Structure 1
């Protein structure tokens, strides 16, 4: 199932699976797993406590003989993450982290996100102006949306949210890519697993070394809030604190980057939708929901059965791996009319791109906020934006659907327009540039 054709466009495979039935056993997928394609089934599994998220050990085991012993530290760190623990541990950790994602906290983060977005777009426009000044003038300027905008933006936002150095963003992205490569491989090799372990340990160590100075000078950022919880009656342990920081850095980067890339590609491939959004920016909130449904940044997730469960006349046994195919559920015709059509005004219920139930993505509202600010600013500042070619380069990750590159072009601004658009950074703003 996982081949180049699938990675470029998984949706025909999902339709074929759905046509053959609601539940499938695949002996090859992740070493043996049940696959679910329907929206109702996927939503049901994601909220059912019989389906456990505790699967870090299974991943380590899947990397080959002897992997569990070699990847012990990887398993230890990930097994403390909010992503991979069940209640009551999950409930406790989520309550601690919720403070950083309340509407008031995110509202305060909005201006910082706008600063970061503006600086990235300033750089894109400055390069276009430099080319014109050097005689390389053309009506349209070209840039790589992924490299110049979608990849750096979420890393910078998470750095701001955690109160850590923005200049370390290249390391954040590299670490996240290694971890994503492991999670996104149905059958990871030991080499992929080793690289993921090295990066996860490096990320964990980065935060561990920050702890003494952060404990001495607490602020309003999320890491400071976790440190306060650690000091208040042991609500969260130091090792759990470090694991949550790693989770935020990794998960926050992957989802937002891919929403921006996949969403921009979908809009520009459907010019009438892009034009409708430009003419009616108030459609942006519904457009983002539709973009998430249409091409989900996370294509599937996993659960381990705590007990035997019967579904659709088949017995799934305790310990079996179950794969809710989120990308397939979001294109289920039983839930969505014409599911393969992009409709930014669609209002037919919830997509499942952020999960569902107790483990729904804690950063969903933050991702929406980032994407809304980013898309609105791109529409305003890059006129006549369009694809620079018909060929896109998709990454080789089955879980995190992402573009390697997305070449775009836009109408080159005049010198007067460029001078008006760009605003110099103040010292306080410069840390986000």
Structure 2
């Protein structure tokens, strides 16, 4: 039973103050009920929320937990992904996202993509990533006031992944608008999900038409991009469907966009709140890689991930029946003092330890190497190119989303 001192936990319905700083909330649950069971209601399944580091690692790495509610329940008619059946285009795309696949399909697709996100490939991309960041900075530097999300943090990863996929740069604004619309269907958002599904369905239809057309253009033509690789692999007999390629492209586009955008915006907010750390980073560029890891731990862009229990098992003091929904609270795990001494301190000199900002296990972020490169280059570009980053006022609006967590708006005075 839930602790009498704690309300039933939910990822929806947070007030703006707690959205901006969820860590005191996490601490109360982690200290009192590190595995918190919320029984099923009329509008939600029974859910186990996991707040401690060790229990989150168990959920992320054990084969007793997976991504499919259908497999977990043993009911072939159960929803395979959290998308209504009437949203056909959206459902088709999401069903082919790597993050919703289990082995062997997950293994096959991940193996095909891994080479394109290897350290050596990403190292070769660094000059292009640096050039993109510099071009955005130049536009930023012409303004007395700027929205760091809209003007830098959001377009930056979109432009990077567009180059990787081989999408023309002039489509960047369109890609960004559709990626945002697709995210409106997220079940973790409190407001307007019904209307959000309509927006997301329209965006999914546009994405499907666009990438199908781009696939046709690559038949018999090697453009040296990731989309060409996927098309050629399918033509050579790889277990990829047209829908699978479309879903993979959209997943890479949206997942990489959302997380890097949130990381950069929240990194700036964290550093502005800790002037000595910001000053040290400005003076010592060699600290940037360690700072990225610490900032990723300190305020993760993805705060929670969902799994389903494939067998009866145990988490902490709880018996978890097969078919149960289990949510690993990554943001809480990354502030667990049992793993990270003084976890609420932002310490760029912290000894390297495995945070869960990129997940763990078979679903460890495929693009982690690319994300680190974007984070290091993007953050360094801002630190070196915006002399007044630590000064002036700020206006911050957070998305009403406790999974993909970050500001939708971060206006800074740059005079």
TM-score normalised over the length of structure 1: 0.86
In structure 2, do the counterparts of structure 1 residues 264 and 173 end up closer, same or farther at CA, with 3 Å as the change threshold?
same
What secondary structure does 1:215 align onto?
Answer: coil
TM-aligned CA deviation for residue 261 of structure 1? 0.4
TM-aligned CA deviation for residue 105 of structure 1? 1.6
Match of 2:102 in 1: 86
Counterpart pick for 2:49 among 27, 35, 38: 35
State the alpha-carbon separation in 1 of the partners of residues 123 and 280 from structure 2. Answer: 27
Indicate if the aligned counterparts of 1:22 and 1:37 stay in contact, CA closer than 8 A: yes
Matched, 1:183 2:197: no
Indicate if the aligned counterparts of 1:30 and 1:186 stay in contact, CA closer than 8 A: no
State the alpha-carbon separation in 2 of the partners of residues 60 and 194 from structure 1. Answer: 19
Moved more, 21-30 or 243-252: 21-30
State the alpha-carbon separation in 1 of the partners of residues 413 and 220 from structure 2. Answer: 47
What secondary structure does 1:407 align onto?
Answer: strand
Match of 2:59 in 1: 45
TM-aligned CA deviation for residue 194 of structure 1? 2.7
Match of 1:270 in 2: 274
Matched, 1:345 2:361: no
Give the superposed CA RMSD: 2.1
Alignment of 1:278-357 (within 5 A): 278-357=282-361
Matched, 1:18 2:30: yes
Unpaired segments ≥5 residues, structure 1: 129-140, 413-433
State the alpha-carbon separation in 2 of the partners of residues 99 and 61 from structure 1. Answer: 27
Unpaired segments ≥5 residues, structure 2: 1-9, 71-76
State the alpha-carbon separation in 2 of the partners of residues 171 and 32 from structure 1. Answer: 38
State the alpha-carbon separation in 1 of the partners of residues 44 and 388 from structure 2. Answer: 44
TM-aligned CA deviation for residue 380 of structure 1? 1.9
Match of 1:425 in 2: none
In structure 2, do the counterparts of structure 1 residues 199 and 58 end up closer, same or farther at CA, with 3 Å as the change threshold?
farther
Alignment of 1:53-68 (within 5 A): 53-55=67-69, 67-68=84-85
State the alpha-carbon separation in 1 of the partners of residues 130 and 177 from structure 2. Answer: 24
TM-aligned CA deviation for residue 291 of structure 1? 0.5
In structure 2, do the counterparts of structure 1 residues 295 and 399 end up closer, same or farther at CA, with 3 Å as the change threshold?
same
Match of 1:416 in 2: none
TM-aligned CA deviation for residue 62 of structure 1? 6.5
Match of 2:376 in 1: 372
What secondary structure does 2:314 align onto?
Answer: strand
TM-aligned CA deviation for residue 388 of structure 1? 3.3
Matched, 1:243 2:217: no
TM-aligned CA deviation for residue 55 of structure 1? 4.6
State the alpha-carbon separation in 2 of the partners of residues 208 and 95 from structure 1. Answer: 23
- The total of aligned residue pairs comes to 394
Q: Can you list the C-alpha shifts for 1:369-392, whole angstroms capped at 9, x where unaligned? A: 011111222222221322532542
State the alpha-carbon separation in 2 of the partners of residues 397 and 388 from structure 1. Answer: 27
Counterpart pick for 2:135 among 106, 116, 119: 119
Match of 1:204 in 2: 208
Matched, 1:9 2:25: no
Indicate the structure (1 or 2) with the bigger Cα radius of gyration.
1
State the alpha-carbon separation in 2 of the partners of residues 250 and 387 from structure 1. Answer: 32
Indicate if the aligned counterparts of 1:302 and 1:322 stay in contact, CA closer than 8 A: yes
In structure 2, do the counterparts of structure 1 residues 290 and 21 end up closer, same or farther at CA, with 3 Å as the change threshold?
same
Match of 1:421 in 2: none
In structure 2, do the counterparts of structure 1 residues 119 and 40 end up closer, same or farther at CA, with 3 Å as the change threshold?
same
